[in-house]
Amino acid sequence: QLRKEHLEILRLTEKIQDALSLASRDEFAARQKGLADLRGLHHGLLGICQHCGSEDGVLESEYHHHLDGPKYEVISAQHQGISRNINSFLRELPLVTADSVVDVVPRGADLVDLIREHIAYEEEMLGCIESSIT
């Protein structure tokens, strides 16, 4: 189930990156489309927050059950940072215009990087868990 969620989240990061690419262009129509696309990803971004919160809230999660404290703490800290960044980004989007959308592009790119790094770490930890079980 976690690997399936990871694939969905990575697909969403591609959509975010595409929208950010449009939002950073010089043409007004492209920036306008990029902003609309970013706003259209609101539900998906909330889904990432839900992914982070559900894993932290379940004491019997695969990570919590199989990983030592420091490795689990990395995942927990990443979840908190991603959720905080997503919530901040989503609060800012309604205030952004097509003229000012370029100002949020770096923050969006940083968010995409955070999410991808987190998914890579979780995949690495899942591999460790699988190796220890078999």
| C-alpha span between 49 and 108 (Å, rounded) | 15
Q: Which two tokens stand for residue 88?
A: 């901040």
> How many whole angstroms separate alpha carbon 134 and alpha carbon 117?
26
Under 8 Å between Cβ of 114 and 86: no
- Tens of pLDDT, residue by residue over 5-61, are 899 999 999 999 999 999 999 999 999 999 999 999 999 999 999 888 875 555 446
Contact present, 109 and 20 (Cβ < 8 Å)? yes
pLDDT in tens, 60-108: 466 666 677 788 889 889 999 999 999 999 999 999 999 999 999 999 9
Distance from C-alpha of 56 to C-alpha of 35, rounded to nearest angstrom: 31
CA pair distance 3, 35, nearest whole angstrom: 29
What's 41's DSSP letter?
A: T
State the average pLDDT over residues 118-125: 91
0.85 surpassed by pTM: yes
Helices (H), ranges, the chain = 2-23, 28-40, 42-57, 62-66, 69-92, 105-133
Q: Which amino acid is at 42?
A: H
